[in-house]
Structure 1
Amino acid sequence: MRYSHTVRDRTYTFDGLVDLLAKAAPDRSGDRLAGCAADSDAERVAARWALADVPLTTFLTDPVVPPETDNVTRLIWDTHDGDAFSLVRHHTVGELRDWLLDTAAGPDAATRLSALAPGLTPEMVAAVSKLMRNQDLVSVAAATSVTTAFRTTLGLPGRLATRLQPNHPADDPTGVAGAVLDGLLLGAGDAVIGVNPASDNPRTVRDLLHLLDDIRTRYEIPVQSSVLTHVTTTIDLIAQGAPVDLPFQSIAGTQRANDGFGVTPAMLAEANDAARGLARGSVGDNVLYFETGQGAALSADGHHGTGGRPVDQQTLEARAYGLARVFDPLIVNTVVGFIGPEYLYDGKQIIRAGLEDHFCGKLLGLPMGVDVCYTTHAEADQDDMDTLLLLLTAAGCTFVITVPGADDVMLGYQSASFHDVLTTRRVTGTRPAPEFEAWLEGLGMLDDAGRVRAVDPGDSPLRELTAKAGA
């Protein structure tokens, strides 16, 4: 089907839903690289007007990526909840935007939005996000509630959790332990203590798993850990008795892109079952950790949709969330600026993409986090990240990633620091996950206002860990 709209006496025509979604997307370098971006602001506006009139039911009959060749599309369609969809079945994309904004401003917003989530497809959510201002994305996401749990409860109102990311370029246990200590002393780690291993050698991964679990059990810390290796490696380590909390996997929005990651839905289901079978959680049994990022499908040459047309990167990102929610994960995060300026060129594009990703994931029912980050060759800086971090906190983001000094020395990119989150929590009145907060309080690490107080590492309740880290 062709779509059209006239702007200033010029009629713009769009060749199908894939083309319309791409042309309606905010300007970004990845879509230009893929050759699917609008050629002008006027064409972009025309595409948005045309998109606003598209019935939501169109997305159930006109696939963005053909189900015959794509298992992500089949999963999205097979798990679609028609009863939940009945709330908005007769709406267009533009009417869905109005419904969401009205609902977010009204009573029982969280209940109504949660009830709708299973009835929305990723393409519907991506489409409506293209019609929204940044303020709209924040407003609706803030009204949406998604709660998950393992050893900590995540997603509760008024809470901002963190992933403590203690990466080391040589996977040195002393270096990793030092970064863990740094983060714990600054109130980080309540979402997960998660290491990106420099090596995917199973022995290295196993050693890191034992290191993190030894720290957790010695100090009775109510957190979960993860070593971010391939899901098949984790499945094998579970079978060998390794202390696995959260299996991890990077995923994308098309089968071809996931083939590039070497992952299938069946593998994810196997990891989910294996980790839940260990019954290591204390307050819940959500066990999977997924990571995504706009541009992943394009970088894997897995970004083509119906008719061979390139699909815009934000729609494909939302489709990754459709895959993730099938497995009820504990946490999901987009590494929004990590893939580089080829996909998100500058701070403006990164901020917009972070708000879109968070909105789309949360509206689909996911416990959504964001790595507020950029690479040093992008046209962005820490001021941009401060802006995005504050906006995401206002939007009720489940968690953000934190690294020592905002500089990941292993992956070579800039993220948020432990101190950044302390400042954000203080300014916004948000707090850590309740179980982790109680642990901090029990060790005397909080002041009378509930804020993490300055502690000399040598005099801290974690001084044995201080010695282990060589501090």
Structure 2
Amino acid sequence: MKYQSSVGNFSYSFPDLKTVLAKATPEKSGDVMAGLAAKNEKERIAARLALADIPLKQFLEEQLIPYEEDDITRLAFDHHDPKAFQLISHHTVGSFRDWLLAYETDGALLKRISPGLLPEMVAAVSKIMSNQDLILVASKIRNVSRFRNTLGLDGHFSTRLQPNNPTDDPKGIMASTIDGLMYGVGDAVIGINPVSDHAQSTRNLLEMLDELRKRFDIPTQTCVLSHVTTTLQLINEGAPVDLIFQSIGGTQKTNESFGVTKEILDESYDAGLSLKRGTVGKNLMYFETGQGSAHSANAHHGVDQQTCEVRSYALARIYDPLLVNTVVGFIGPEYLYNGKQIIRAGLEDHFCGKLMGLPMGCDICYTNHSQADQDDMDNLLSLLGLAGCNFIMGVPGADDVMLHYQSTSFHDQLYIRQVLGLKYAPEFESWLQKMNLVDDQGQMLEGKHRHKLLYL
């Protein structure tokens, strides 16, 4: 089906829905490299005008990637809830945007419609929204998850403690972990990106973190971000696994390039549930995503990178995860060229993930060869704080010495808490108070009190 619009004296025609979505996308270097982006701003505006007039029902009729060829498409359509969709089925993409922004559309209403949204519908509406729009609508949504503590409550904000080490040295990892805990970092998860995916090395790190957690009775969860098959093996061998981690993408071919299938995820999810390690809930999956993964795997089927990203959320929500975060600038300038593109992508991903019903966080980051700097990350952190982001990363010095990229530091989360009055996960804040690391108001204590962990 062709879609048409006019800008000034110029008429534009787009051959299919896939093309309209790609051309309407804010400029991303990955789409330019793939030959999918609009040639100029006039064509981009024309595509947005055409997109705004497309009925949401059309997305049920025109599949971007055929049902027979892609398991993400099958998942999205098989789990689509017609009853939830009925409330918004009369809308076009443009009027859906207006409805999302309306005062009367609150978080409860957005949660009601979420099961009725295909990822392509969510991607479409985000493309005609300003940054301000994305922040406002996302701020209405609270997607709460629980394992050993409660994440995502209104007025709360969490962090993943990321104590990576270039040689997986236990002493180095433990030093960074204790340092982070003394700054109140780690209520989302204490999570290590291992250098080696070897099962025994992974198990050693899991056991070390579990011993620390139990020794100090820390109400959080731990994770070594090894491949899901390694984690599954370790569960079967009796290792202390809290969360099941896996990077995922928005097409079947992308996930195959990661060495993962839905069947593997199903098996690992069931194995994780069987351990019953959660104390306040059983959300135990941890997914990481990021715009550009489908493009870098040459697995995008001609779909723009942001729409591919939102399609990965259709897979993630099947497993009712504890954590989902877009590692927004990690792949590099080939896909998000500069600070402006990274900031836009972070706001898009956060909005789309939350609208899809996910407990969404963001690794606010960039690679050293990107046209970005820490001021850009400060800006994105501030905007995501306003948008109600569930969690961010806490990396020593904001410089990951193993993955070689720039993220957010232990101090950055203190900044956003102070500016916006945000609290820790409630169970974790009670623990921080018990350890004399924060006061009764949740404010970080100074001086000797903050070193209690070292003395113990």
Partners of 1:57 and 1:326 in 2: CA distance: 22
Equivalent pair of 1:164/1:192 in contact (CA under 8 Å) = yes
- Residue 456 of structure 1: how far off its partner (Å): 4.0
Give the corresponding residue for 2:190: 193
Partners of 1:88 and 1:241 in 2: CA distance: 47
Match for 2:241 among 239, 244, 247? 244
Give the corresponding residue for 2:104: 106
Give the corresponding residue for 1:58: 58
Deviation per CA, 1:251-278: give whole Å up to 9, x if none: 0000000000010111111111111110
Give the corresponding residue for 2:145: 148
Match for 1:375 among 367, 372, 378? 367
Equivalent pair of 1:355/1:392 in contact (CA under 8 Å) = yes
Equivalent pair of 2:433/2:440 in contact (CA under 8 Å) = no
Q: Structure 1 residues 413 and 15, CA, compared in 2 at 3 Å: closer, same or farther?
A: same
Greater CA drift, 214-223 or 59-68: 59-68
* Structural mapping, 1:23-172, within 5 Å: 23-102=23-102, 105-106=103-104, 109-172=106-169
Any runs of at least 4 consecutive aligned residues in structure 1 with deviations exceeding 4 A, and if so which? none
Partners of 2:448 and 2:311 in 1: CA distance: 46
Partners of 1:460 and 1:106 in 2: CA distance: 48
Percentage identity across aligned positions? 58
* Structural mapping, 1:64-463, within 5 Å: 64-102=64-102, 105-106=103-104, 109-304=106-301, 310-456=302-448, 460-463=451-454
Equivalent pair of 2:360/2:391 in contact (CA under 8 Å) = yes
Partners of 2:318 and 2:441 in 1: CA distance: 40
Q: What one-letter code is carried by the residue in structure 1 that aligns with 2:166? A: P
Q: Structure 1 residues 227 and 270, CA, compared in 2 at 3 Å: closer, same or farther?
A: same
Deviation per CA, 1:276-330: give whole Å up to 9, x if none: 11010010000000000000000011011xxxxx111000000000110011111
- Residue 449 of structure 1: how far off its partner (Å): 3.7
Partners of 1:283 and 1:289 in 2: CA distance: 17
Partners of 1:448 and 1:440 in 2: CA distance: 10
Partners of 2:366 and 2:446 in 1: CA distance: 29
Greater CA drift, 25-34 or 448-457: 448-457
Give the corresponding residue for 2:15: 15
Which secondary structure does the structure 1 equivalent of 2:452 belong to?
coil
Partners of 2:179 and 2:369 in 1: CA distance: 28
- Residue 462 of structure 1: how far off its partner (Å): 1.1
Partners of 1:174 and 1:334 in 2: CA distance: 29
Deviation per CA, 1:41-94: give whole Å up to 9, x if none: 000000000000111111111111111110010001000111100110111101
- Residue 145 of structure 1: how far off its partner (Å): 1.3
Equivalent pair of 1:231/1:268 in contact (CA under 8 Å) = yes
Equivalent pair of 1:185/1:455 in contact (CA under 8 Å) = no
- Residue 134 of structure 1: how far off its partner (Å): 0.3
Partners of 1:463 and 1:368 in 2: CA distance: 33
Q: What one-letter code is carried by the residue in structure 2 that aligns with 1:187? A: G
Q: What one-letter code is carried by the residue in structure 2 that aligns with 1:460? A: H
Deviation per CA, 1:197-228: give whole Å up to 9, x if none: 00001111000100110110000000001110
Equivalent pair of 1:171/1:198 in contact (CA under 8 Å) = yes
For structure 1, which runs of at least 5 residues remain unmatched after alignment?
Answer: 305-309, 466-471
Which secondary structure does the structure 2 equivalent of 1:194 belong to?
strand
With the length of structure 2 as denominator, give the TM-score of the two structures. Answer: 0.99
Equivalent pair of 2:107/2:140 in contact (CA under 8 Å) = yes
With the length of structure 1 as denominator, give the TM-score of the two structures. Answer: 0.96
Equivalent pair of 1:406/1:417 in contact (CA under 8 Å) = yes
Partners of 1:276 and 1:184 in 2: CA distance: 27
Q: What one-letter code is carried by the residue in structure 1 that aligns with 2:222? A: S
Q: What one-letter code is carried by the residue in structure 2 that aligns with 1:424? A: I
Equivalent pair of 1:84/1:116 in contact (CA under 8 Å) = yes
Equivalent pair of 1:150/1:284 in contact (CA under 8 Å) = yes
- Residue 365 of structure 1: how far off its partner (Å): 0.1
Equivalent pair of 2:178/2:454 in contact (CA under 8 Å) = no
For structure 2, which runs of at least 5 residues remain unmatched after alignment?
Answer: none
Partners of 2:175 and 2:89 in 1: CA distance: 53
- Residue 150 of structure 1: how far off its partner (Å): 0.1
Which secondary structure does the structure 2 equivalent of 1:4 belong to?
strand
Which secondary structure does the structure 2 equivalent of 1:226 belong to?
strand
Total equivalences in the alignment: 456
Equivalent pair of 1:28/1:345 in contact (CA under 8 Å) = yes
Q: What one-letter code is carried by the residue in structure 1 that aligns with 2:23? A: K
Which secondary structure does the structure 1 equivalent of 2:160 belong to?
strand
Equivalent pair of 2:85/2:116 in contact (CA under 8 Å) = yes
Partners of 1:247 and 1:143 in 2: CA distance: 28
* Two-structure CA RMSD over aligned residues (Å): 1.0
Q: Structure 1 residues 173 and 464, CA, compared in 2 at 3 Å: closer, same or farther?
A: farther
- Residue 460 of structure 1: how far off its partner (Å): 2.6
